[in-house]
Structure 1
Amino acid sequence: MALDSATQVTSGPDGRVELRDHSAITGSPYYNRELAPVPLERRTWTTYNFFALWMGMAHNIPSYTLAASLVALGMDWVQALLTITLGNLVVLVPMLLNSHAGTKYGIPFPVFARAFYGVRGANLVALLRAFIACAWFGIQTWVGGKALHVIVGRLAGEGWSGAPVVLGQVWTLWLCFLAFWVVQMLVIWRGMEAIRRFENWTAPLVSVGFLVLLAYVAVKAGGFGPILSEPSRLGWGADFWKVFFPALMGMIAFWSTLSLNMPDFTRFGGSQRKQVLGQLLGLPTTMSFIAIVAILTTSGATALYGEAIWDPAELASRFDNTAVVLVALVALVLATISANLAANVVSPSYDFSNAFPKKITFAVGGLITGVIGIVIQPWRLIADPSIYVFAWLGFYGGLLASVAGVFVAGYWLLGRTRLDLPDLYLAGRGAYWFRAGWNWRAVVATVAGSLLAVGGAYGGPFPAAGLIPVLAPLYDYNWVVGLVVGLLVYLALAPRRENA
């Protein structure tokens, strides 16, 4: 094991780096216990932990309904499944590239961002990611609370679902929403280890629940209905490819936020092999699994009820068997909580802590996330599908892709995976202070990539001709455009030495 006696930075035989002595950086305003590099003895996550993490994040209601949008566009089940699988394989590449730094140095996403945007400038991308996550947290909590309300209403009767209206909704719906919110806050308050344990034991239960849903529908319907035999309305010619590429960008954008902040989780990885294998086994397989279950279940529901019911909570509420309804309830509740904690609470907790390290802990950051998730009124945001799909999924996918481009360029192509670990926490000096704590080159690369990626945004809440009409053709490929432009501009602007 190599040792730098001046900084107490050690490098083990597996390449993971540890900062043994924090005394030189604990006084920095940009240091706290949660943001500090994780000691090697606490980097204990196994391949299963990462696989279970992805199972928990992927098996949720939005993932379940993802295939619906592709079938509605005219794809058959094979085309929809291929598009979803390919999208997840593509986004897995930058995800694994960014995950490497978390495992090697034990640092979370906002600290990793300091290496390229500056110790202060990292807050630009960290808070951008945080506010997106807050909105998604609110949306997921509302969706989960609504699912709980629908199914409990099926069990409790009219007195529950027909309760008096308060602030535009029945009070029992507000109660379900609040219950979801409180449970998530209790878990996040106990820290990352509690989240790991929660993901471990909920992952298989969630899968069982969705399979029970599928089995019940299949048995009752006597088959999987018309979808599997229905041909594609697009064929495999030009009409298909015009729909395929924008759809693929949407599938990639679905996990584009996680492609940035996976270091928040991989910093606890027992080795690079464990985190890579866990994610390779986790993301593509679990997303393909939930897509297949969604397509087959909905197909069977079409045969049973004469309509395609893509909302699993509404579907379960129509079942006659009370035991099956309860199983579906448990699965949907666990699925939504599990996905929301991992995908939409962990990252902003670190991001808010990074903005004020001496005042905001990881737990307080999670509470801030929860409060903002209510303040944004997710019931209004999700009420308009065009805003929900276009303004959140497509637009932010392209926006954050430029940040991923800067990360890949800086860490892999320029830095060759080398970081000066103590300097990531130093104020007023060090390799990552740049000018007043900001690296203007990374900011310019991000703005350029974002402008070209989403400047031509059209459809939904955006003008039909695009925000900037000349850029509208690029919007169909927004994630790729953002990633490539961000990467190339940063490479073009970067000096030979990153601390120049």
Structure 2
Amino acid sequence: MAIRQRFAALNESVRLQGDAAQHEQTDAWSNRDLIPLPPSRRTWGWFNFFGFWSIASLNLTNWQTPNTYLTQGLSVRQAMLVIVVGRVLIAMFSTLIAWAGLKWHIGFTVQNRYSWGLRASYIPLLQRILLNFIWNAVQCWNGGRLCAVCITAIWPSFARIENTFGADMPTTTYEFIGFVVFWFLSTPFLWLRPEKFRIPFFIVCTWCSAGMLAWMIWALAVAKGVGPLWNTGQQIPTGSSWSSSWLIMAGINQSIGGLAAGITNGSDFSRYASARRHYVIGTITSCLITGILVSLVGLVTASAAQKIYGETYWNPPDLLMVMMDNGNGSSKARAGVFFLSAGFAFTAMFENICGNTIAGGIDLAGLFPRYIDIRRGAIITFLAAWIVQPWQLINRATTFIAVLSSFSVFLAPMIGIMACDYYILRKRKVRLSHLYRTEDSSYYFWKGINWRAIPAWVCGWAPTIGGLIVTVRMDANPSRPLLQLYYMAFLIGFFISGTIFYLLNLAFPVPDMDQMDDVDIYGTFTAAEARRLGVAPLTTLVGITGKEEYVQTSVAGGEKGEGF
């Protein structure tokens, strides 16, 4: 009995508690971070979204993006064309998926419940949790390299530190210390809730943008112009089976696929918008301006540095070490390198917190709502970096990283199902109260599973998985049709899954798909939103013997309608 009492006390102490006055019920399907966000928590203006997408651009990967396409044989102009088209499509798909968050103020975790069913929604959820765990670890490792450069700029002897690891450890003491420093410096940000991200966004955007521009200007001034890399023309190898058109198509697919997880994150953060226009303005301007400019600045800097040092350095940590002669350079050179590497490191730090750990926290909250909220889930995701051991992935399992980069093969079909269901089948209407219960829920389907979503999802990735496999295995003579399908994997997955999901719903219709609540049960909407949606605002909550009854007022003015 004593053990049972202790267990009950422990269970009660770790369970989350919500504020009933704010409709923050905590049960098997809901907690404070999963319910539709009330107006008081919707604090993001246009700059928050500009910053959110900017940190996805102000990073090492985007800086090096032109190199990916130049290596394949495309010209500089063709490489930039791929980047521009890719960014336009990213902005479009992101807005498409984020709209449910803007209108109904729910995130990806809850959004999938009306498409997959409450229990089957764990399928996309578990995939994203896996991705968040691994990419968090990889980002920590990449950020650790920047921290190691910062330490070397302060203490040059750090670059010559003795490697105390054995031959079976695929890293060095130098790299591992950078990883540990980065991980510990990132930890305090886990306690920062998304509502408070504005100041970090401002610091990141200002510091890293100024650093990148200063770096480019310095390189151009020292080199007295752009180097030969800038004039690279099309150099597709003779005898290559791929034309420039196919390589451009593959590049666009890769560009979108690289941010596919961020696209699915759209509603997780769009629900924090204080107004829809803030999301649209911030997202589009950041995707199109910051995303393109960072790649262009990286290209110009690498080209000018080629003229200075006689070699092409695409990886910023490598170029920074050369600039300060591995720590043996002048104090001015080391100060400049510290400023640049610290800016990159802080950006990587907050990009990882926002894009991986916070997103992982939201998804874990969807699995265990009684015990995990965003903060606890973020901490779990961050701790998982030690279990994943990124030094093993980065230095040994290069094919595994290639698989992760191509995971859009599985994500694109999910996005297609989400878009088809929300815009075509449900006509942008959602019953919020049915997303958080199994009894008499329109979204419980058959034992919590909407079986239509599963074959639609499988059909979306089945045609392209073969191309992914032969690419990862690096087959000498892969099937050309398999690769052609793989080079269009995102668009193929999106449209095939969306179409099949639509046809299955026509053949096996679900009743009342375009219904929504008559009452704003969670206090989600402002008065203007309630009028626009035709939803009666909640006025009183009366307790009745274990049940709750909502007393409502009529909708003030206007007939029921959708509204923009």
TM-score for the superposition, normalised by structure 2: 0.80
Aligned residue in 1 for 2:386: 374
Aligned residue in 1 for 2:304: 300
Aligned residue in 1 for 2:286: 282
What's the CA shift for 1:114? 0.8
Contact 2:153 2:335 in 1 (8 A): no
What's the CA shift for 1:451? 1.4
Contact 1:116 1:407 in 2 (8 A): yes
Match of 1:208 among 207, 210, 216: 210
For residues 455 and 85 of structure 2, what CA distance do their matches in structure 1 show? 31
Gaps of 5+ in 1: 1-19
What's the CA shift for 1:166? 3.1
What's the CA shift for 1:209? 1.1
What's the CA shift for 1:284? 1.9
Aligned residue in 2 for 1:497: 510
Aligned residue in 2 for 1:249: 253
Aligned residue in 1 for 2:313: 309
SS at match of 2:452: helix
- The one-letter amino acid of 1:492's match is L
What's the CA shift for 1:200? 2.6
What's the CA shift for 1:189? 2.3
SS at match of 1:416: coil
- The one-letter amino acid of 2:202's match is N
What's the CA shift for 1:498? 5.7
For residues 112 and 498 of structure 1, what CA distance do their matches in structure 2 show? 19
For residues 380 and 267 of structure 2, what CA distance do their matches in structure 1 show? 21
Match of 1:328 among 337, 340, 352: 340
Q: Deviations over 1:291-329 (max 9, x none)?
A: 001100100111111111011111112224122112112
> Structure 1's 424 and 465: CA in aligned 2 closer, same or farther, altered over 3 A?
farther
Aligned residue in 1 for 2:415: 404
Contact 1:391 1:460 in 2 (8 A): no
Aligned residue in 2 for 1:73: 72
Contact 1:221 1:303 in 2 (8 A): yes
> Structure 1's 441 and 196: CA in aligned 2 closer, same or farther, altered over 3 A?
farther
Aligned residue in 2 for 1:15: none
> Structure 1's 492 and 471: CA in aligned 2 closer, same or farther, altered over 3 A?
farther
Root-mean-square deviation (Å):
2.4
Q: Deviations over 1:439-479 (max 9, x none)?
A: 11112211111212323324453362899997443112111
Structure 1 segment 163-312 matched on structure 2, within 5 A: 163-166=162-165, 168=169, 169-234=171-236, 239-312=243-316
For residues 292 and 388 of structure 1, what CA distance do their matches in structure 2 show? 29
> Structure 1's 299 and 463: CA in aligned 2 closer, same or farther, altered over 3 A?
closer
Aligned residue in 1 for 2:11: none
For residues 498 and 187 of structure 2, what CA distance do their matches in structure 1 show? 37
Contact 2:362 2:377 in 1 (8 A): yes
Aligned residue in 2 for 1:341: 353
For residues 432 and 472 of structure 1, what CA distance do their matches in structure 2 show? 38
For residues 21 and 424 of structure 1, what CA distance do their matches in structure 2 show? 20
How many residue pairs match? The answer is 478
Sequence identity percentage: 23
Structure 1 segment 32-111 matched on structure 2, within 5 A: 32-111=31-110
SS at match of 1:165: coil
For residues 465 and 105 of structure 1, what CA distance do their matches in structure 2 show? 50
> Structure 1's 295 and 355: CA in aligned 2 closer, same or farther, altered over 3 A?
same
Q: Deviations over 1:384-416 (max 9, x none)?
A: 58526531222x112100000000000001111
> Structure 1's 286 and 242: CA in aligned 2 closer, same or farther, altered over 3 A?
same
For residues 305 and 440 of structure 1, what CA distance do their matches in structure 2 show? 59
SS at match of 2:33: coil
Contact 2:302 2:314 in 1 (8 A): yes
SS at match of 1:57: coil
Contact 1:123 1:351 in 2 (8 A): no
SS at match of 1:440: coil
- The one-letter amino acid of 1:71's match is L
> Structure 1's 368 and 285: CA in aligned 2 closer, same or farther, altered over 3 A?
same
Aligned residue in 2 for 1:16: none
> Structure 1's 450 and 22: CA in aligned 2 closer, same or farther, altered over 3 A?
farther
For residues 309 and 359 of structure 2, what CA distance do their matches in structure 1 show? 41
Contact 2:47 2:282 in 1 (8 A): yes
> Structure 1's 384 and 137: CA in aligned 2 closer, same or farther, altered over 3 A?
same
Contact 2:137 2:385 in 1 (8 A): yes
SS at match of 1:455: helix
What's the CA shift for 1:497? 3.2
For residues 71 and 478 of structure 2, what CA distance do their matches in structure 1 show? 26
- The one-letter amino acid of 1:35's match is L
Structure 1 runs (4+) greater than 4 angstroms displaced: 20-23, 465-472
Contact 1:398 1:481 in 2 (8 A): no
Contact 1:457 1:468 in 2 (8 A): no
Contact 1:150 1:161 in 2 (8 A): no
Match of 2:425 among 393, 397, 414: 414
Gaps of 5+ in 2: 1-19, 325-332, 514-564
For residues 40 and 260 of structure 1, what CA distance do their matches in structure 2 show? 23
For residues 203 and 158 of structure 2, what CA distance do their matches in structure 1 show? 34
For residues 242 and 397 of structure 1, what CA distance do their matches in structure 2 show? 19
Aligned residue in 1 for 2:323: 319
Aligned residue in 2 for 1:352: 364
Aligned residue in 2 for 1:432: 443
> Structure 1's 499 and 462: CA in aligned 2 closer, same or farther, altered over 3 A?
farther
Contact 2:149 2:338 in 1 (8 A): no
Matched, 1:141 2:109: no
Aligned residue in 2 for 1:482: 493
For residues 273 and 435 of structure 2, what CA distance do their matches in structure 1 show? 20
SS at match of 1:457: helix
For residues 117 and 196 of structure 1, what CA distance do their matches in structure 2 show? 34
Q: Deviations over 1:109-166 (max 9, x none)?
A: 1101111011121111012012112211111110110122134224412345423423
Indicate the larger mover: 483-492 or 334-343. 334-343
For residues 498 and 123 of structure 1, what CA distance do their matches in structure 2 show? 23
Indicate the larger mover: 466-475 or 273-282. 466-475
For residues 209 and 158 of structure 2, what CA distance do their matches in structure 1 show? 32
> Structure 1's 309 and 21: CA in aligned 2 closer, same or farther, altered over 3 A?
same
> Structure 1's 462 and 172: CA in aligned 2 closer, same or farther, altered over 3 A?
closer
Contact 1:151 1:314 in 2 (8 A): no
> Structure 1's 76 and 385: CA in aligned 2 closer, same or farther, altered over 3 A?
farther
What's the CA shift for 1:196? 3.8
Indicate the larger mover: 144-153 or 470-479. 470-479
